[in-house]
Amino acid sequence: MPSVLILIADGTEEMEFTITYDTLIRGGCSVISAFVPDIAYGGLPGVSPPLAKCSRGMNIMPDRYFDLAECGPDRYDLLVIPGGAKGAETMSKHPSVQELIRRYIERRKLVGMICAGSLAAKTAKLPMQPLTSHPSVKSELDTHFDYVEAPVVISDNLVTSRGPGTAFAFALTLVELLCGAERREEIRGPMVFPSGTPW
């Protein structure tokens, strides 16, 4: 069973987190969420992670605190970084998240970034390659990457997407990469997308 680590912080975009989490579970993955504290306010983990207050006010209880030693590519097949301006900033500026991204890329494990979460590709100093993001952060990325305005962009083992409206396309792409095209189609049907939906 493929294993997935999805990060969450205060300010994470709810749809990008929950749609990705839920779709990967439907695909047959084991999914764990880890709370990334804001290093600007100390960023010290406690015994239990707090509720993450997301971008629209929804509170989500993460499974665990983020810990670099426990979140590596030896334990998970996919690392997901959702967007939401404040949450993406917290994650992208966290040195241990930057290091984690590099470890996954170096080990050729999948890394998924959506919306402003793609800023972490820049702060982790990933090489020039195709990438997309929410339009609001395009100007921070388009001189460092081959910026593409597509719903989902796959560049080797980096998968990026644009925002809440592309979250299903993003999540289904991750399911396909981890579990195969047949499994993607098996779960897509019961989700009852409107006729003509491109994903």
Domain ranges for the chain, please list them. Answer: 3-191
Strands (E), 74-196: 78-81, 110-114, 130-131, 146-147, 152-155, 158-161
Alpha carbons 172 and 167: distance in angstroms, whole number: 8
- For the whole model, what pTM was predicted? 0.94
- Residue 154: its pLDDT value, please? 98
- Where residue 53 falls (left for φ over 0; alpha for ψ -120 to 50; beta otherwise) is beta
Active-site residue (options: 71, 89, 94, 134) = 134
Amino acid letter for position 145: F
Active-site residue (options: 16, 54, 89, 94) = 16
What are the φ and ψ backbone dihedral angles of 9, each rounded to 5 degrees?
A: -150, 170
The answer to whether 115 is a known catalytic residue is yes
- Residue 57: its pLDDT value, please? 86
- What number of H helices and E strands is found in the chain? 7, 11
Contact in structure between 55 and 116 (CB atoms under 8 Å)? no
Alpha carbons 15 and 178: distance in angstroms, whole number: 21
- Residue 49: its pLDDT value, please? 73
Select from 3.40.50.2300, 3.40.50.880, 3.90.79.10, 3.40.190.170 the CATH code of 3-191.
3.40.50.880
Active-site residue (options: 29, 54, 71, 115) = 115
Sign, Cα dihedral of 99, 139, 150, 82: positive
The answer to whether 134 is a known catalytic residue is yes
pLDDT tens sequence for the chain (199 residues): 999 999 999 999 999 999 999 999 999 999 999 999 988 665 555 556 788 999 998 999 999 999 999 999 999 999 999 999 999 999 999 999 999 999 999 999 999 999 999 999 999 999 999 999 999 999 999 999 999 999 999 999 999 999 999 999 999 999 999 999 999 999 999 999 999 898 8
- Residue 42: its pLDDT value, please? 59
The answer to whether 99 is a known catalytic residue is no
